[in-house]
């Protein structure tokens, strides 16, 4: 397993699981209903996440829920710029959740430490933008795109196909000059996957972790938690915590979550009891 993740200003040690707190600057997020769409509210929420123990802040301006509309770069940037400009002044790594190369460039110029890309740097120019920086990058797997990804996703071998895609994208990133220490991988739970696909991926995380890249997972409040528990999105914290601990036990080193304080507590207790 990876020992660290190099992310711009920070070398993140991975001797314990890291918690990435989600800051959605969106009016249509599936998880929080746009509660933090205003920059002031988003910054207040981000500060709360840091106080609760977030190791990383992940700022996003476009919802990636199934069927969500696409934004222009200008729309996305208008949402996240005021939040990013302030957050990079704090002593915490700041990630920007975007697939648009121009947003990446401007975010990196402003001081972002990580690019978290659901398209794994496949958009024209994205690889070059990240390669020209010192930022960390998370490469995620998705079948299709958010508008269509949940319309009958199909795999012959979901674990094998996800693994092959992620390792191929990582190799391509390295060939462009992005050092291996800067790359993390995300299997993309819920992105073009049925419940059975997600469960197969969860059981196969040890195989994905064998790559030697840090493994980042995001299952917080997702529909698979609802399908397994029968709970609405606002009642999925216990299920989300169970998913986090199962993934950490299987090799995930970074977890992307909404409920930072509860996740940190769960990981602390789990880690102490295992030790």
User: What sign for the dihedral angle of Cα 272, 48, 98, 56?
Assistant: negative
221 among known catalytic residues: no
Kindly list the distances between the CA atom of residue 266 and the CA atoms of 13, 202, 243, 250, 262, in Å, as whole numbers in the listed order: 20, 19, 11, 16, 6
Q: Which of 169, 256, 268, 274 is catalytic?
A: 256
Given a contact cutoff of 8 angstroms between Cβ atoms, the answer to whether 190 and 223 are in contact is: yes
Distant-in-sequence, close-in-space partners of 56: CB < 8 Å, separation ≥ 6: 7, 12, 18, 19, 20, 21, 92, 93, 94, 95, 114, 254
Catalytic residue, chosen from 106, 182, 222, 236, is 222
169 is catalytic: no
Residues in the chain: 275
Distance from chain centroid for Cα 96 = 9
In 85-241, beta strands by DSSP E:
94-97, 114-117, 136-140, 183-186, 216-217
Q: How far apart are CA 137 and CA 120, in angstroms?
A: 9
Q: 260-274 and 237-249 are packed helices; what angle lies between their axes, rounded to 10 degrees?
A: 40
Burial of 199 (0-12, 13-18, 19+ CB in 10 A): middle
Other beta carbons within 10 angstroms of residue 3's beta carbon come to 12
Active site residues: 222, 256
């Amino acid at each position: 397993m990876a020992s660290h993740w190099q992310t711009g200003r920070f070398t993140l040690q991975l001797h314990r699981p890291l918690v990435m707190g989600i800051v959605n600057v969106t009016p249509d997020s599936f998880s929080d209903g746009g509660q933090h769409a205003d920059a002031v509210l988003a910054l207040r929420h981000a500060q709360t996440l840091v106080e609760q123990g977030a190791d990383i802040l992940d700022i996003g301006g476009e919802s990636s829920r199934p069927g969500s509309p696409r934004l222009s770069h200008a729309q996305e940037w208008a949402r996240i710029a005021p939040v990013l400009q302030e957050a990079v002044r704090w002593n915490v790594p700041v990630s920007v959740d975007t697939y648009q190369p121009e947003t990446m460039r401007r975010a990196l110029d402003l001081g972002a430490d990580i690019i978290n890309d659901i398209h794994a740097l496949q958009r024209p120019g994205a690889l070059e933008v990240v390669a020209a920086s010192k930022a960390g990058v998370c490469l995620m797997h998705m079948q299709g795109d958010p508008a269509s990804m949940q319309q009958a996703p199909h795999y012959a071998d979901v674990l094998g196909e996800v693994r092959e895609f992620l390792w191929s994208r990582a190799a391509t990133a390295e060939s462009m000059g992005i050092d291996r220490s800067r790359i993390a991988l995300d299997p993309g739970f819920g992105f073009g996957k049925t419940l059975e696909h997600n469960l197969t991926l969860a059981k196969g995380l040890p195989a994905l972790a064998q790559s030697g890249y840090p493994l980042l997972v995001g299952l917080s409040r997702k529909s698979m938690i609802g399908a397994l528990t029968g709970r609405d999105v606002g009642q999925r914290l216990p299920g989300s915590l169970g998913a986090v601990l199962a993934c950490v036990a299987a090799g995930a080193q970074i977890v992307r979550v909404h409920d930072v304080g509860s996740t940190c507590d769960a990981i602390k207790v789990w880690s102490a009891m295992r030790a």
